[in-house]
Amino acid sequence: MILQSKRRHPLTPSSYLSLRRWESLGTGLFNLLVFSLLIVYLFPIVYMIATSFMERQQLGDRNAPAYPARQLRYEYEGKEYKIYNVPVDDTERELALVVPGLQASEFIDPQNPEAGLIPWDGNWRGLVGVYEFKPTLDNFSIIFRSLRITDMVRNTIILAIITEIGVLASSIVVAYGFARFPLPGGNLLFYLMIATILLPEKITLIPSYFIFVRVLGWNGSWWPIILPFFFGNAVFIFLLRQNFKSIPKDLDEAAMLDGAGPIRTLISVILPQSWPVVITVALLHFFYMWNETRQAALYLSTRRDLVPISFGISNFQSLAPMQNQLQASALLIMIVPVLVLLFSQRHFMRNLVVTGAEK
Amino acid sequence: MQTKRFRLRYDKATGLLLISPWLIGFALFKLIPILASLGFSFTDFHMLEPDNINFIGLDNYVRLLQDEAIPYLILATLSTIIWIIPLQLGASILLAALLNSPRLKARTLTRTLFFLPSIIPSVAIAFMWLGFLDPGTGWLNRFILMPLGLDGFNGIYSDAAVAILIGISSLWAIGPGMLIMLAAMQGISHEILEAAKMDGAGPLVSFFFVTIPMITPAIFFSLIINLIALFGGVILLDRGNTFSNGSSPFDGYISFWMFDRWDIGYAATLAWVFLLIVLIVILLLFSTSRRWVYYPDRE
């Protein structure tokens, strides 16, 4: 009877309450879904971080936990013995394995060593050890000893600063030209620039490589990597130009009346209103430069002292290190872009969205 | 009194002067190399004998037609595209829809974390994949396959493992595409969604019949971005894929002839044919776009 009346009048105060409860339950479930998805999506990163802090012994141990851990040990009569969870008389006891055997083993109780060895029937290999959380930084110190990490980071930073200046200055000036000035052929040149974004890299790579290496003799130098950036980047020019176009022209014209030239106008009128997109472009270029390996592989393979970080570490695998060292090196190269992204997230995420939407 | 030359005037000469860095760069690093590639493709240019170059006409093109690897490579490239592109588009639309929901907590951080894999260097991804799939110590066997009662995975360099690597790195590359879709979804006016609701459309109906048609420009843009990335081009974010590690087999084959065999003439021929294939695919996409992409200005 009560149920029926509820069904007939769905908007009574009591059902409002349950509607709100449904609503918050839905929100809870929705967030649970999104965050589980996030964990699955980032699962290999979790693996990488956990493994890079593990000791060598843990890698081969199938019973070890997923976090960096070390099996507890107990010192007995001058020797160290590993501690296991041993089922004795329906309870689990933490005992140190002294005499391992496939049929029967002998243990010592760390709480009560005076009681002497405890015999136990069963295969000790089936036992699960007792672990404590114990991260190690050894993997990182091995990498720092076997690779010239500080040199590589220094190279990357120098390259990033030089190319950042080049690509920002040229892209800003070109974008200003495309945004404000009439050009011969109307928008034709602009469309041509957009079309160059779609070119596969190989088509230009073959002759460029020949000219840089054979004609100019720039093998083993930074010139082939740096030089192209001083002529602008089509994607950045596009993003900047979209932003410049959205700035009202009135201010330009006021500057024009004051007798300012184009570069003055760009610096004192356009740029102060465009910092968000300029910073976004600068971040995009930084991510690119940090991750760069292709150009380095082409031109720097003969000069170990000039290689940037990502390319330098990409060779680490050929030294055949253990998984924990390999994962530590992966963590080492991705930590910088990840931190930069996390610190700039409010700015970067919003502006990439805004500039992307202008298309 | 300033000289007239430095006054701001909106004339073509100043415009040309301002865009001249790009024009010079275009000529030096795009136009001349592309034409030079075309020239190389008619010669027997070999890196080890740069002084002995002969014009051999269409021999390289004849050789390409007889190359048994070519049909396989085109097929392999197409079959990669056929599963990767829908995977990326579907995942980025779904993620954008989830991240656009007003119910979501910690929105900026969640969006950043979903975006984060797009900036991870390819070197780190390769190492992670090697470790994650490792039969002895990796987590794929220990925490995914074994608990499900499945057989352990052993073929670290098998086709399946490579497919997993391509899958991971392409799912982890959807960040920019996802942000573009998100921006497009935020751009849909509330009135349209309200009107759909008034007409009795549920959330799913309004998603498929209002949201999706409204964001088709963003879908088209992401489609182009993802396609170019598969073809070995660079748009927005580049994580520095190595040459041997590119996801397009055709691209890898060009690298092989260029860096392993030093046969510049044949590599240039392959690159030109590849360019033509890419251009045809993109032109086809643009020509179909009129039918399914929504352009508000046209109405």
Interface of A with B in 185-204 (CB under 8 A): 189, 192-193, 196-204
Residue A185: its pLDDT value, please?
85
- Whether residues A243 and A332 share a domain: the answer is yes
> Does the predicted TM-score (pTM) go above 0.90?
no
- Whether residues A222 and A289 share a domain: the answer is yes
Q: Do A275 and A172 meet the contact criterion of CB atoms below 8 Å apart?
A: no
Q: Does B37 touch chain A (CB under 8 A)?
A: yes
With CB atoms and an 8 Å threshold, state whether A206 touches B258: yes
Q: Name which of B6, B9, B12, B19 is nearest A175 in CA terms.
A: B19
Under DSSP, the state recorded for B55 is B
Q: Indicate the domain borders of chain B.
A: 64-105+174-299, 121-171
Residue B173: its pLDDT value, please?
85
What's the CA gap between A240 and A251, in Å, rounded?
18
Where residue A235 sits, what CATH number does that domain have?
1.10.3720.10
Residue A61: its pLDDT value, please?
80
% of residues, chain B, pLDDT over 70: 91
* H or E element that contains A92: strand A91-99
Residue B1: its pLDDT value, please?
43
- Whether residues A283 and A217 share a domain: the answer is yes
With CB atoms and an 8 Å threshold, state whether A256 touches B116: no
Work out the average pLDDT over A267-273. Answer: 90
Q: What is the mean pLDDT of chain A?
A: 86
Q: Do A61 and A75 meet the contact criterion of CB atoms below 8 Å apart?
A: no
User: Tell me: the pLDDT tens digits for A104-149?
Assistant: 888 888 888 888 888 888 888 778 888 989 899 999 999 998 888 9
Mutate to test the interface with A, among B24, B60, B137, B223 (most CBs of A within 10 A): B137
Residue A23 maps to a domain: no
3-state SS, B214-246, equals HCHHHHHHHHHHHHHHHCCCCCCCCCCCCHHHC
Indicate the residue type of A341: L
* pLDDT range class, residue A357, cuts 50, 70, 90: very low
With CB atoms and an 8 Å threshold, state whether B134 touches A323: yes
pLDDT of B276 higher than 70: yes
Residue B296: its pLDDT value, please?
64
What is the ipTM score, two decimals? 0.85
Q: Which two tokens stand for residue A85?
A: 């969870």
pLDDT of B89 higher than 90: yes
- Whether residues A222 and A87 share a domain: the answer is no
Residue B236: its pLDDT value, please?
59
pLDDT of B22 higher than 90: yes
- Whether residues A318 and A169 share a domain: the answer is yes
Mutate to test the interface with B, among A152, A153, A203, A301 (most CBs of B within 10 A): A203
Residues of B in contact with A35 (CB under 8 A): 110
With CB atoms and an 8 Å threshold, state whether B274 touches A202: yes
Residue A59 maps to a domain: no
How many separate domains does chain A show? 2
Residue B297: its pLDDT value, please?
57
Residue B8: its pLDDT value, please?
63
Residue A52 maps to a domain: no
Query: Phi-psi region for residue A217, left (φ > 0), alpha (ψ -120 to 50) or beta?
Result: left
**Can you name the residues that pair with A92 across neighbouring β-strands?**
A87
Work out the average pLDDT over B250-274. Answer: 87
Residues of B in contact with A334 (CB under 8 A): 120-121, 124
pLDDT of B108 higher than 60: yes
Interface of B with A in 103-132 (CB under 8 A): 103-105, 108-117, 119-124, 126-132
- Whether residues A268 and A343 share a domain: the answer is yes
Phi, psi of B55 (to 5 degrees): -75, 120
pLDDT of B245 higher than 80: no
- Whether residues A192 and A327 share a domain: the answer is yes
pLDDT of B271 higher than 80: yes
**Can you name the residues that pair with B129 across neighbouring β-strands?**
none
Which of A34, A214, A293 has the CB atom closest to B98's CB atom? A34
Which of A66, A173, A313 has the CB atom closest to B21's CB atom? A173
- Whether residues A97 and A179 share a domain: the answer is no
- Whether residues A195 and A151 share a domain: the answer is yes
User: Tell me: the pLDDT tens digits for A312-333?
Assistant: 888 887 776 788 999 999 999 9
Residues of B in contact with A31 (CB under 8 A): 103-105
Please return the burial class of A22, using the count of CB atoms within 10 Å of its CB with bins 0-12, 13-18 and 19+: exposed
* pLDDT range class, residue A166, cuts 50, 70, 90: very high
pLDDT of B153 higher than 80: no
Under DSSP, the state recorded for A36 is H
Residue A291 maps to a domain: yes
User: Tell me: the pLDDT tens digits for B40-62?
Assistant: 999 998 878 877 888 898 999 99
| Residues spanned by the domain of A299 | 147-357
Residue A17 maps to a domain: no
Residue A355: its pLDDT value, please?
53
Q: Does B177 touch chain A (CB under 8 A)?
A: no
Q: Name which of A182, A181, A180, A167 is nearest A237 in CA terms.
A: A167
* pLDDT range class, residue B247, cuts 50, 70, 90: low
Residue A320: its pLDDT value, please?
67
Q: Is the pLDDT higher at B4 or at B159?
A: B159
Interface of B with A in 182-211 (CB under 8 A): 182-184, 186-187
